[in-house]
Amino acid sequence: MNRREFLAAGSAVAAASALPSFALADDKTIQVYSGSDNNIIDFWNNTIIPAFQKANPGLKVKLIDAGDDNGLRAIADRALAALKSKADPQADVFENFDARLPAGGVDAGLWVTFSAANVPNFGKVNPKAIDMPQQLPYRGSQVLLAYDKTRLDAKDAPKTWEQLVAWIKKNPGQFIYNRPDKGGSGGNFVRRAIHEVNGRDPSKFTIANFSADYAEKSLTPAWAALKDIAPSLYEKGAYTSGNTQSIQLLSQGVVTMVPVWSDQVLQAISQGVLPETTGLVQLTDLALCGGFSRLTVFSNGANKDAALKLADFLLTSEMQSAVITQIGGFPGVTWDNIAADLREKYKDVVPTSIPTFPGGDWNAAINDGWYRNVATGLARG
């Protein structure tokens, strides 16, 4: 083989290997990007995708782990640029994303607006969970308090914020929460403190009513309340750097109680990371905040219709039951759309109300305020 023949053969091989990626364009492969934790990625790969592909022959789902929310933001920016130049964003679905980003995306029509017309099951969605029609809440979880039943009797577990604070002060070093920006369990504990000092009324906080003055006025008393319990926390005011680390301290028997995400703690118990003697309790005067994972669909994705089918499929009672049984989450649909036996079994963790706290500018105000006011100023040895 002379050199020219070799080059010709070589380029033919290279072209052949490039073929599958060309073929991908007209194949019905829905590109789903997720920035969620591994348990969710596993849930999609092992449960949702096989079931969906079985129910819809000819459609394929490809789940791409974007790492975290920042990974998704970069792809969303790219998709917004693609929308303006009428190009294919090569992405169809985000597994969990805030449709308020990228800025101007909603106005430009980047996201599909969900309704019963394009997603037949949309009517089943829990109205409390709907935030904006560009987002489809399909699974949720809430922050609870997890405690060691061998050290705290279930009947003495605190049921209100006041009892919780009294318990923390009576048992110094036995409670810890994570830094509010590093994980939602600590973040929503902090938000519960904010609710407490503002008359336990979540409706006082919306994305639109944020202003620096209002934040100053409403958050400052919360910092005082959190500072007040700081000396009674683990190591006189230490804060773990994430949800997992809090669970680790509970499992090592270092502390007696931590705030946890409901799905994470149920999974930790079922995997044996936390012992069977782990108790769960929710505050009854006002629950700790929760949140829903919201699916978004690109309006300019190549497989928009297939993506909407996938969105609809997620709301079927089969998938919504799997959310409860497999990842310990809450369904995105109302509870009357869930099988009766499941409803009965999980009635203890079924929230009667899920208070939420708005994101947007409040996030930055809470994170910065907490670091500057609560985390500092403690002499620790």
Partner 1 sequence: MADTAIPSAIGGSEPAIGRGLKGLLLVAIPVFLVGWLIIYPIIAAILSTLFVDGPQGVHFSTASYQFFFSDPYSRANLALTLWTTGLCAVLLLLVGLPIALYLRFSTSRFADLVQSLAIFPMFVPSIILSYALIRTIGPNGTLDILLNAIGLPKIPSPYLTPWGPVIGLVWDNLPLTVLMLTAGLGSISNSAVEAARDVGAGPIRVFWHIILPRMGNSILVTISFTVLGIFSSFTLPYVLGPASPEMMGPFMLRTFNDLYDPLNAKTQAVISFVFCLFFGLFYVWSIARNQRSQTR
Q: Which residues bind partner 1 (CB under 8 A)?
A: 70, 179, 181, 235, 238-242, 245, 248-249, 252-254, 363-364, 367-368, 371-372, 375-376, 380
| Pick 15 or 364: Cβ nearer partner 1 | 364
Q: How far is the CB of 137 from partner 1 (least distance, A)?
A: 23
Q: How far is the CB of 93 from partner 1 (least distance, A)?
A: 24
At CB < 8 A and 24+ separation, what contacts does 158-163 make?
158/281, 158/283, 159/281, 159/283, 159/284, 159/285, 160/283, 160/284, 160/285, 161/192, 161/193, 161/196, 161/283, 161/285, 161/286, 162/285
Q: How far apart are CA 246 and CA 243, in angstroms?
A: 5
Q: Which residues pair with 61 in a beta bridge?
A: 30
Q: How far is the CB of 361 from partner 1 (least distance, A)?
A: 8
| Pick 345 or 372: Cβ nearer partner 1 | 372
Q: How far apart are CA 161 and CA 228, in angstroms?
A: 14
| Pick 241 or 284: Cβ nearer partner 1 | 241
The answer to whether 120 and 312 have CB atoms below 8 angstroms apart is: yes
| Pick 284 or 376: Cβ nearer partner 1 | 376
DSSP state of 334: -
Identify residue 292 by its one-letter amino acid code.
Answer: F
| Pick 317 or 367: Cβ nearer partner 1 | 367
**What is the three-class DSSP state of 218?**
helix
Q: How far is the CB of 33 from partner 1 (least distance, A)?
A: 19
The answer to whether 190 and 180 have CB atoms below 8 angstroms apart is: yes
Estimate to the nearest angstrom the gap between the alpha carbon of 44 and the chain centroid: 15
Q: How far is the CB of 45 from partner 1 (least distance, A)?
A: 23
| Pick 240 or 303: Cβ nearer partner 1 | 240
Q: How far is the CB of 51 from partner 1 (least distance, A)?
A: 33
